[in-house]
Amino acid sequence: MAHRVVDCRGWRLSEEPLWQHVEHNPARGELIEIETLGDTLDPTTVWHFSHWLQPLSANRWRMGSTYAWSHFEAPPTISARTTLEWSLRRNWRGNFRVVDCYSGVRPAIRDYLPVLGTHPELPNLSICYGFGSHGALYAPACTDWMVQHLLENKPVPVNYDNRRF
Ligand SMILES: Cc1cc2nc3c(=O)[nH]c(=O)nc-3n(C[C@H](O)[C@H](O)[C@H](O)COP(=O)(O)OP(=O)(O)OC[C@H]3O[C@@H](n4cnc5c(N)ncnc54)[C@H](O)[C@@H]3O)c2cc1C
């Protein structure tokens, strides 16, 4: 039997009755994967023009992402694919084809801040969540704060505490 549980189920926590005091605002995002034909983009450049491109291999790139606040589990849409394709065509003259389309859901919060710490009524239950579009930025510091909170009983930052709502 676990002594302490840290709930890290991403946007699924918005469906969890134990965390309904948190002001969830999950945001769906769609992405495309493209293959460049002929000239490719320079992989040493950071490509960002309201949408970003991530190099996957010599001529494969992932491009994202759109925003939507419903239909979290729907299949990828033509409209998101078209938005991303046109965004690339407006900003780059090369040829490409779309080889895949997929979607995910960002675990976002109404105030766009992470959600950490211990449940207000269940001392053995904690949460580490709410990184929204900034998982790479927030996760390292937030997991450090959670380790200190759980092992050394230190409070998490007040503006990130799940009890702020
Ligand atoms: C389209 C899109 C674009 C993004 N772009 C960026 C970006 O450019 N830069 C950036 O920093 N961040 C970006 N993010 C955000 C980043 O992905 C998230 O902030 C980060 O993944 C959140 O990490 P997490 O561990 O809290 O949740 P998640 O990564 O969602 O992980 C939660 C895990 O819990 C699992 N889980 C859920 N329910 C259960 C269950 N009942 N039992 C067991 N396991 C369960 C899930 O399968 C999942 O593996 C993007 C997200 C999306 C969707």
Residue with token string 């505490």: 161
Same domain, 93 and 130: no
Same domain, 37 and 80: yes
* Per-residue pLDDT reduced to its tens digit, 138-151: 999 999 999 999 99
Q: Whose CA is closest to atom 30 on ligand 1?
A: 10
The Cα–Cα gap between 132 and 115 comes to 10
Domain membership of residue 65 as a residue range: 27-106
Write the CB contacts of 97 (distance below 8 Å, at least 6 apart in sequence): 34, 35, 37
CA 161 – ligand 1 centroid, Å: 19
* Per-residue pLDDT reduced to its tens digit, 48-61: 998 999 999 989 99
Same domain, 38 and 88: yes
**Average pLDDT rounded to a whole number, residues 100-125:** 98
Tell me how far CA of residue 72 lies from CA of 19, 25, 31, 33, in angstroms: 19, 12, 14, 20
Same domain, 99 and 120: no
Full strand arrangement of the beta sheet holding 52-57 = 47-48, 52-57, 60-64, 27-37, 95-106
Tell which one of 11, 12, 71 to mutate to probe ligand 1, the residue whose CB is within 8 A of the most ligand atoms: 12
Ligand 1 pocket residue status of 12, Cβ below 6 Å: yes
Domain boundary among 56, 81, 106: 106
Same domain, 136 and 80: no
Same domain, 95 and 33: yes
Same domain, 71 and 95: yes
**Residues 18 and 120 sit within 8 Å (Cβ to Cβ):** no
Q: What average pLDDT does the structure give for the chain?
A: 96
DSSP code for 135: H
Same domain, 84 and 94: yes
What pLDDT is attached to residue 68?
97
**Average pLDDT rounded to a whole number, residues 67-76:** 97
Q: Considering its fold, how many domains does the chain have in total?
A: 2
For residue 1, pLDDT beyond 80: no
* Per-residue pLDDT reduced to its tens digit, 9-48: 999 999 999 999 999 999 999 999 999 999 889 999 899 9
Same domain, 13 and 65: no
CA 39 – ligand 1 centroid, Å: 33
The Cα–Cα gap between 164 and 35 comes to 45
Same domain, 84 and 140: no
Bridge partners of 7, per DSSP, are 127
